[in-house]
Amino acid sequence: MYVSLYRQWRPQNFDEFVGQEHIVRTLTHALEQGRTTHAYLFCGPRGTGKTTTARILAKALNCHDRKGAKPCGKCSSCQQITDGNSLDVFEIDGASNRGIDEIRNLLEKVHFAPGEGRFKIYIIDEVHMLTNEAFNALLKTLEEPPGHVVFIFATTEAHKLPATIISRCQRFDFRRFSLSEITDSLEKMIASENRTAEPAALAIIAEHADGGMRDAQSLLDQCLVFSSGILKASDVQEVLGIIDRRTYIDLGQFLVARDMQAAFVQIEQLNAMGKDLQQFARGAVSFFRDLLFFQTLKSAPSDAYPESERADMRMLAQNLAPDVIVAALDAFIHVEREAKDLGDARLALQLAEARLFVRQHDSLGSDGRSDGSTALASAPAASAPVASRKSAKSAKSAKSAAADMPAAASTTQSATATHMSPAMPVISLNEIRDQWPAIMEMLKRERISLQAFALEARVVGLEGNVLKLGFEEKYALHRDKVQSENKLVEQVIHKVTGVPLQINCVLLSETGKVDTSSGNTSWQGEPAVKAALDVFGGEVKQSGTGKDGRGGNKK
């Protein structure tokens, strides 16, 4: 009969043990120095080696030919313990022998001398399942046991043990195995089976095992049976029902572009494929937690990310504000509970994503990852004159407004002259349009979120050194975003074209013309402008934008 991998690879001595160096070193020294105690408490998550360590310790204590801390593995005592039929080592399941009667029966036998070895060893697994009465019955013997008795307790929930029990034991806390420890062990198993596996496949298994070596070995066993030939990452994902991490990266990109429609379509696609949407939510929690690590520590939280995915994660970390990532964590953490309340996992997931996108829209960042409200705040020089002109309309007559125009005109002309490029750019509008795809590609590499907004822009005009970008009225938010980040866009344009240009983002009417009610070209219909034309004569030839974003009208 086939023996599973985790049983084949169970360590038989401390030299074969993987990880847990702090425990192995302490127990090894205790055995070598003859300073073993009468009671041990092994705590830690499942699959981290608690029961295996207890058996190795039992072997070492009763081995007839031990060398240092290493049991020989050949004597009758070692063989019996390995086979599980030793008369001196008792493995007791605390969950099924939890009452006071079972513990009293055990205590009646501890006074009898061991049959073959030097010690009678009681290994009680899941000891936290014992009742309070059973613990109380155990206290006296545990404090002053016979010299030939050793208790080894193992538990995954040490906090449930009475303090009086813990204080009478030497406690060892087993940690989860690292991803590298698990993958190294899996590689050895793959080689012993004369099989090969993609590194990504083993990384997925190691990550899914959640730090448990036994879990990883069982998963590998299952995947090897499913796959023939090379074990691929896609095979592991299919066996375990895991959703590809690329799906979560796409979700992050939807957040960057604020595309809630795409996020909802993604949910529908996953549902149509029969994927577990609650598992998707749990995976999203892990993904955004890792993304927060990327953003905070500037590095991957684990070895499970290949370089291509690390590049995507770095890009998302640069373009999503921390409060958005935390909001995503908060949204997806509650999906499982809401799915139980609503009885519909898809609805719970859709509600979570809707709240996330609405919250992202309401809590706009101030670090270049915001919408138009920040753009207005970052350009007070452009918005303040408009507001003052609107208030002036109700307070002044056309004649008084005309009297104020010379000073305003001189100020505007001086500002325009100050920021005018000394040399007119040597490039045509058609050349810029031809190079626009290359500009968008470079902007994508610089900041993908900004490129998502700039994709809606149309190159509509070139006036001197000012490139006019037009946005349809429904993309007013995109216009504000690109204008607020004009410096980065201008740098990218300069790199691609070799010509220093400024940008002016405007709205387009349905006919494709510049909507003069927006941006810095809103001179038409202004009473002050009309009054100035009546007093001084002439006509408006051009409405331009200076480098600092303030409008300047040339007459």
Per-residue pLDDT reduced to its tens digit, 304-355: 566 777 788 888 888 888 889 999 999 999 998 888 888 889 999 999 999 8
Q: Is the per-residue pLDDT at 554 higher than 80? A: no
- Order of strands, sheet of 466-472, starting from the edge strand that comes earlier in the sequence: 458-463, 466-472, 502-508
pLDDT digits (tens, 9 = 90+) for 209-226: 989 999 999 999 999 999
Mean pLDDT of 171-184: 93
Q: Is the per-residue pLDDT at 175 higher than 90? A: yes
In a 10 Å sphere around its CB, with 0-12 CB exposed, 13-18 middle and 19+ buried, how is residue 293 labelled?
A: middle
d(CA 189, CA 192): 5
Q: What percent of the chain has pLDDT over 70?
A: 78
Range scoring the smallest mean pLDDT among 104-108, 297-301, 452-456, 508-512: 508-512
The pLDDT confidence band at residue 515, using thresholds 50, 70 and 90, is very low
Q: Sort strands 458-463 and 39-43 into parallel, antiparallel or unpaired.
A: unpaired
d(CA 233, CA 56): 35
**pLDDT value for 372:** 37
DSSP class of 542: E
d(CA 48, CA 506): 62
Q: Is the per-residue pLDDT at 399 higher than 80? A: no
pLDDT digits (tens, 9 = 90+) for 21-34: 999 999 999 999 99
Q: How far is CA 81 from the centre of its chain?
A: 45
**Secondary structure (DSSP) of 100-166:** HHHHHHHHHHTTSPPSSSS-EEEEEETGGGS-HHHHHHHHHHHHS--TTEEEEEEES-GGGS-HHHH
Q: Strands (DSSP E) along 73-167, which ranges?
A: 89-93, 120-125, 149-155
Q: Which domains does the chain have, with CATH numbers?
A: 5-173 (3.40.50.300), 179-240 (1.10.8.60), 245-362 (1.20.272.10), 380-554 (3.30.300.180)
Query: Does residue 368 contact residue 485 with C-beta atoms inside 8 Å?
Result: yes
Counting every residue written for the chain, the total comes to 555
Q: Sort strands 120-125 and 149-155 into parallel, antiparallel or unpaired.
A: parallel
**pLDDT value for 162:** 94
Beta bridge partners of residue 171, listed in sequence order: 41
- Higher-confidence position of 295 and 422: 295
- Order of strands, sheet of 170-173, starting from the edge strand that comes earlier in the sequence: 89-93, 120-125, 149-155, 39-43, 170-173
Q: Which residue has the tokens 């953490």?
A: 333
CB neighbour list of residue 37: distance below 8 Å, 6 or more residues apart: 30, 150, 170
Q: Is the per-residue pLDDT at 179 higher than 70? A: yes
SS (H, E, C) 311-373: HHHHHHHHHCCHHHHHHHHHHHHCHHHHHHHHCCHHHHHHHHHHHHHHHHHHCCCCCCCCCHH
Q: Which of 411, 403, 413 is nearest to 527 (CA)?
A: 403
234-243, 382-391, 520-529 — most confident range: 234-243
Burial 168-182 (b: 16+ CB within 10 A, else e): bbeebebebbebebb
d(CA 160, CA 220): 33
d(CA 347, CA 330): 17
Beta bridge partners of residue 458, listed in sequence order: 470
Range scoring the smallest mean pLDDT among 126-130, 314-318, 423-427: 423-427
**pLDDT value for 419:** 41
Q: Is the per-residue pLDDT at 294 higher than 90? A: no
**pLDDT value for 521:** 41
Beta bridge partners of residue 502, listed in sequence order: 466
**pLDDT value for 541:** 53
Residue 364 tokens, joined:
């706009």
C-alpha triplet 191, 195, 197: angle, nearest 5°: 95
Q: Is the per-residue pLDDT at 369 higher than 90? A: no
Q: Is the per-residue pLDDT at 533 higher than 80? A: no
In a 10 Å sphere around its CB, with 0-12 CB exposed, 13-18 middle and 19+ buried, how is residue 68 labelled?
A: exposed
The pLDDT confidence band at residue 300, using thresholds 50, 70 and 90, is low
